């Protein structure tokens, strides 16, 4: 019999002989007493020559003048032929000079066993794959969740002034009047902010002005005017912006704050931290030029992309080369060599920037940016908020 992989059935029979016999006696009885029962083509010898019957195994034991054992016949025929051979062997009634009784135990479907092994192995493969995919999916979900998580108010300086976490990392800081104003700026995604907490300018703010650029955003009332005068006497402030006449900053919405800053021609780059701005490289034209093709394309795609948790890759001609769930983003992006821009409904992370740089992506636009470290100089990073889409 060739490789056991071609075996379909194992015919198993039990036997008992009234006397002591050897394996050769049992084999001889089986071949001799089944020969010619169903024609020459069904003889065991012929079936073995055509590889339809394999090597017959005999297991036996003699005790108390009796021999008991098992016959195993491997077969690659159909089930009907296997059953016929089983019945033929069961008709053997003598082994040598001794009376014998053969009984069919069962016909085992080898393929069923093999199928079970294959299915069990497939389950392990799927389990391993699911574990890996779940791990990657959890990391991406964490990135997406972080994109919507608001920063918390921190304390700054010896006076424990309310501030956003960006006060430490950005080279531009917004000065506002109170804690409620800080919370409003954080809701607008602006983290480089600190509150004065009164008309008297704290020493920590004066020291801050020696190291960073400062822009004051004050209430549109008499109190705001007094703080502006106080600031002008003790330190340098690059710009002072007031809320609309008669309104306090805390009365505004996050969109109002963003629009107010833009109306004052505050560069959009001042809305992100120093690391984020350093990661962006300016082209010959102004970076915020309104008719830049990728900006126009992003504004066109935003309504169909926002809230979908999907990503779009664009080539040099701004044609889509792929659109897929962000859970597949890194894998899909690393599988292309024609993508130049990435626009997606999620957060720009360090891992994503590194993957994009490896495949030649030069522009990334998402909902917001995470904590970024080293960013290649030729990779530009932006957000939908920078483009006035949020």
pLDDT tens readout for residues 47-82: 888 888 888 999 999 998 999 999 999 998 888 889
The pLDDT value recorded for residue 201 is: 92
The pLDDT value recorded for residue 133 is: 57
Are 266 and 287 members of one domain?
no
pTM over 0.75: no
Report how far Cα 204 is from the mean position of its chain's Cα atoms. 44
pLDDT in tens, 136-180: 555 555 555 554 455 789 999 999 999 999 898 888 899 999 999
pLDDT of 267 > 80? The answer is: no
Place of tokens 């012929």: 46
The span from the CA of 203 to the CA of 236, in Å, is 14
pLDDT in tens, 173-190: 999 999 999 999 988 888
What tokens appear for 187 in the block?
């809701």
Residue 193 contacts residue 208 (beta carbons within 8 Å): no
Domain boundary among 271, 289, 321: 271
pLDDT band (50, 70, 90) for residue 135: low
User: For 328-355, what is the mean pLDDT?
Assistant: 85
The span from the CA of 25 to the CA of 65, in Å, is 15
Residue 185 contacts residue 176 (beta carbons within 8 Å): yes
Are 262 and 160 members of one domain?
yes
Composition of the chain by helix, strand, coil, percent to 5:
40, 25, 35
Are 304 and 321 members of one domain?
yes
Range of the domain at 10: 4-113
Residue 383 contacts residue 367 (beta carbons within 8 Å): yes
Q: How many domains does the chain have?
A: 3
Angle at which helix 254-263 crosses helix 179-187, to 10 degrees, equals 90
The pLDDT value recorded for residue 19 is: 92
Are 85 and 162 members of one domain?
no
Task: Report strand pairing: 154-156 vs 161-163.
Answer: antiparallel
pLDDT band (50, 70, 90) for residue 196: very high
Are 205 and 161 members of one domain?
yes
pLDDT of 294 > 80? The answer is: yes
In a domain, 301, yes or no: yes
The pLDDT value recorded for residue 248 is: 92
The span from the CA of 80 to the CA of 44, in Å, is 15
3-class secondary-structure state, position 23: helix
The span from the CA of 219 to the CA of 227, in Å, is 9
What residue spans of the chain are helical by DSSP H?
Answer: 23-34, 44-49, 79-90, 110-148, 166-169, 179-187, 203-211, 222-234, 254-263, 274-279, 293-305, 329-334, 350-358
pLDDT in tens, 296-311: 889 889 888 887 888 9
What tokens appear for 34 in the block?
């089944």
What tokens appear for 309 in the block?
């948790």
If you average pLDDT over every residue of the chain, what do you get?
Answer: 82
pLDDT band (50, 70, 90) for residue 289: very low
CATH number at residue 358: 3.40.140.20
The span from the CA of 190 to the CA of 172, in Å, is 11
* Cα angle 189-190-196, degrees, rounded to a multiple of 5: 140
Are 308 and 341 members of one domain?
yes
Whole-angstrom CA distances from 334 to 74, 322, 330, 357 are 51, 12, 6, 10
Domain boundary among 256, 271, 286: 271
pLDDT of 274 > 60? The answer is: no
Are 262 and 187 members of one domain?
yes
Report how far Cα 12 is from the mean position of its chain's Cα atoms. 51
Tell me how crowded residue 86 is: count the other CB atoms within 10 A of its CB.
21
The pLDDT value recorded for residue 288 is: 44
The span from the CA of 127 to the CA of 123, in Å, is 6
In a domain, 26, yes or no: yes
**3-17, 44-58, 264-278, 351-365: lowest mean pLDDT where?**
264-278
pLDDT in tens, 15-55: 999 999 999 999 999 998 888 887 777 788 888 888 888 88
């Amino acid at each position: 019999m060739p490789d056991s992989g071609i075996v379909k059935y194992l015919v198993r029979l039990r036997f008992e002989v009234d006397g002591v016999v050897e394996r050769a006696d049992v084999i001889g009885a089986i071949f001799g007493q089944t020969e010619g029962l169903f024609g020459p083509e069904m003889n065991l010898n012929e079936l073995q020559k055509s590889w339809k019957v394999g090597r017959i195994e005999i297991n036996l034991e003699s005790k108390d003048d009796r021999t008991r054992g098992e016959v195993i016949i491997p077969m690659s025929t159909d089930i009907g032929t296997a059953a016929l051979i089983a019945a033929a062997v069961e008709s053997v009634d003598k082994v040598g000079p001794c009376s014998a009784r053969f009984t069919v135990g069962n016909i085992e479907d080898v393929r069923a066993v093999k199928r079970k092994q294959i299915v069990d192995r497939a389950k392990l493969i799927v389990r391993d794959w699911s574990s890996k995919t779940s791990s990657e999916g959890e990391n991406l979900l964490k990135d997406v969740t972080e994109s919507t998580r608001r920063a918390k108010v921190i304390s700054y300086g010896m006076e424990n002034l309310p501030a956003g976490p960006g006060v430490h990392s950005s080279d531009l800081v917004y000065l506002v009047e109170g804690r409620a104003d800080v919370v409003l700026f954080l809701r607008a995604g602006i983290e480089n902010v600190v509150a004065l907490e009164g008309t008297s300018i704290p020493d920590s703010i004066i020291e801050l002005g020696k190291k960073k650029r400062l822009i004051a955003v004050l209430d549109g009332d008499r109190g705001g005017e007094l703080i502006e005068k106080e600031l002008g006497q003790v330190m340098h402030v690059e710009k002072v912006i007031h809320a609309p006449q008669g309104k306090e900053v805390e009365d505004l919405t996050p969109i109002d704050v963003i629009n107010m800053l833009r109306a004052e021609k505050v560069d959009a780059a001042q809305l992100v931290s120093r690391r984020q701005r350093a990661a962006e490289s300016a082209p010959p034209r102004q970076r915020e030029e309104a008719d830049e093709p990728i900006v126009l394309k992003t504004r066109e795609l935003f309504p169909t992309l926002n809230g979908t948790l999907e990503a779009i890759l664009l080539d040099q001609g701004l044609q889509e080369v792929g659109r897929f769930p962000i859970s597949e983003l890194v894998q899909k992006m690393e599988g292309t060599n024609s993508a130049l821009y990435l626009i997606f409904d999620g957060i720009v992370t360090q891992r994503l920037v590194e993957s994009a740089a490896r495949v030649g992506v030069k522009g990334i636009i998402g909902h917001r940016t995470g904590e970024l470290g080293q960013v290649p100089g030729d990779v530009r990073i932006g957000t939908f908020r920078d483009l006035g889409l949020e």
